[in-house]
């Protein structure tokens, strides 16, 4: 169900962001405005455009927010991977904006664990792999 919604939200965001979609919406509003005298500018005539725009706006808010949330999470994970080093960012990050929210959260959690290891002085390790145990410093060698 979630994959179907993601595909629908992505496709809707692409279609609604195109110039022709805007032109079609302007045409609908113009047809509505021109039809005003035919319907005597009645309350029903006004209710048609008010109801239609309210419903479309209400649904679009959720679709666009879903798309933005997934894109932002994917972007963050990709940026984090690049920060870890340009030696070889994992190519598994390509296209992750199409994953489910749970899949993105799992990847982000892995990347954040790597960041914590790096911050504590441990080697980052690979995504999906456990970091090797940290070796204690030998104070005797440091003095020699």
What are the tens digits of pLDDT across the range 6-24? 899 889 888 988 999 999 9
Nearest to 93 by CA among 105, 77, 106: 77
Query: Using the 8-state DSSP alphabet, how is residue 135 labeled?
Result: P
Residue with tokens 């005298």: 37
Burial of 95 (0-12, 13-18, 19+ CB in 10 A): exposed
**pLDDT, greater one: 111 or 126:** 111
Check pLDDT > 90 for residue 27. Answer: yes
Residue % of the chain over a pLDDT of 70: 80
Prediction pTM value: 0.55
What are the tens digits of pLDDT across the range 48-92? 999 999 999 999 999 889 888 888 888 888 887 776 666 655 667
Q: Residue 134: its pLDDT value, please? A: 35
What is the average per-residue pLDDT within 41-46? 94
What is the spatial distance between Cα 8 and Cα 125, in angstroms, rounded to a whole number? 36
């Amino acid at each position: 169900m979630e994959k179907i919604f993601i595909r629908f939200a992505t496709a809707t965001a692409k279609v609604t962001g195109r110039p022709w979609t805007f032109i079609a919406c302007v045409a609908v509003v113009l047809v509505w405005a021109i039809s005003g005298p035919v319907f005597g500018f009645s309350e029903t005539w006004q209710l048609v455009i008010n109801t239609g725009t309210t419903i479309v706006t209400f649904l679009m808010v959720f679709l666009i927010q879903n798309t933005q949330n997934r894109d932002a999470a994917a972007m963050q994970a990709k940026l984090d991977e690049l920060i870890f080093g340009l030696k070889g960012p994992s190519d598994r990050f390509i296209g992750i904006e199409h994953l489910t929210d749970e899949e993105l959260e799992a990847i982000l959690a892995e990347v954040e664990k790597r960041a914590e290891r790096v911050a504590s002085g441990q080697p980052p390790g690979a995504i999906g792999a456990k970091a090797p145990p940290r070796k204690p410093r030998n104070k005797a060698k440091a003095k020699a």
